[in-house]
Amino acid sequence: MKVLVTGAKGQLGTDVVIMLKENGFDVYGYGRKELDITNQEQVNEVILKDQPNVVIHTAAHTKVDQAESEPDQAFLINAIGTRNIAVAAEEVGSKLLYVSTDYVFDGTATEPIDEFQPTNPIGVYGRSKLAGEQMVRNFHSKFFIARTSWVYGAHGNNFVKTMLKLGQEKKELSVVSDQVGSPTYTVDLAERIIDLIQTEKYGTYHVSNSNSCSWYEFAKVIFKEAGLDVQVNPCTTKDFPRPAPRPAYSVFDHMSLKINGFDAMPDWQTALKRFLKEQGQ
């Protein structure tokens, strides 16, 4: 099976490419320099040349705060770029998997959110990613939308790496305790993406590690597992104002995975331990 991956140099894309190759797929990985998803002619040319059976679309504008000050750029990449990919993938008859986000919800839920609940993004990033989902639904017939949350891994910048770095430099930190979600290890996310694309069980999926925590609880467990002695103090979102609003609650229910017969996602604590061990922590 031939698989084309956009955003192949990114945090998730890198692991997707590695794991596809390990599983014997014929992989075509494109980073931003090799494939500009906002250039429709280039997208058509590349996908027509490679004739993939599946396109995994991980490329995105993911700088949440920056998106607030450059909405045109966020929508150009996340909506128009996704349209370009969807149209070209449909043209060659390939399946399409689009990676989306918990930011398509407003954070007012009080129980885990399943795939059939209404979306209501509160910032530019979330709105642009939801527009990408709509482009996929409008222009493609064989698609998977995989929404994920709080992603970390070996490649690129993320919360876990930031905490490990700060843990070497500081003895005390304040971390937000009133935002709750599900941390997700890229390796577990990539594995489930690879499971999805080998089926015809199309639709929208919530794919995060299972169970939930606040950023404050997440930080405490990171330091504990890494053997770092850091005093972590809880603080509120208001104490750390940021340009983009964050959903206060974005814990996923994996209903689509369950009812379509896919394996349950590992819990976030187990995933974190595996990641730290693999990083030599």
DSSP states along 61-96: ---HHHHHH-HHHHHIIIIIHHHHHHHHHHHTT-EE
Q: What percent of the chain has pLDDT over 70?
A: 100
- Alpha-carbon distance values, 18 to 9, 100, 127 (Å): 11, 20, 30
Angle, helix 159-169 to helix 268-278, in steps of 10 degrees: 60
List pLDDT tens digits, range 127-183: 999 999 999 999 999 999 999 999 999 999 999 999 999 999 999 999 999 999 999
The residues, any chain, with a CB within 8 Å of residue 45's CB and separated by 6 or more, are none
- Please give the structure tokens belonging to residue 163: 């905490």
Q: What is the CATH number of domain 2-158+182-211+250-270?
A: 3.40.50.720
Could you give the CA distance from residue 58 to residue 5 in angstroms, rounded to a whole number?
7
The residues, any chain, with a CB within 8 Å of residue 128's CB and separated by 6 or more, are 61, 67, 71, 74, 75, 77, 78, 79
- 30 as an active site residue: the answer is no
Q: Is the pLDDT of residue 281 over 80?
A: no
Catalytic residue among 30, 125, 152, 249: 125
Residues written for the chain:
281
Which helix (H) or strand (E) element contains residue 3? Answer: strand 2-6
List pLDDT tens digits, range 3-26: 999 999 999 999 999 999 999 999
Task: Quote the pLDDT of residue 240.
Answer: 86
Which residues are 143's β-sheet partners? 96
Residue 280 — pLDDT band, cuts 50, 70, 90? Answer: confident
Hunting for tokens 């003895």 — which residue is that? 171
Could you give the CA distance from residue 4 to residue 126 in angstroms, rounded to a whole number?
25
- CA of residue 213 relative to chain centroid, distance: 17
**213-214 and 180-181: which strand pairing?**
antiparallel
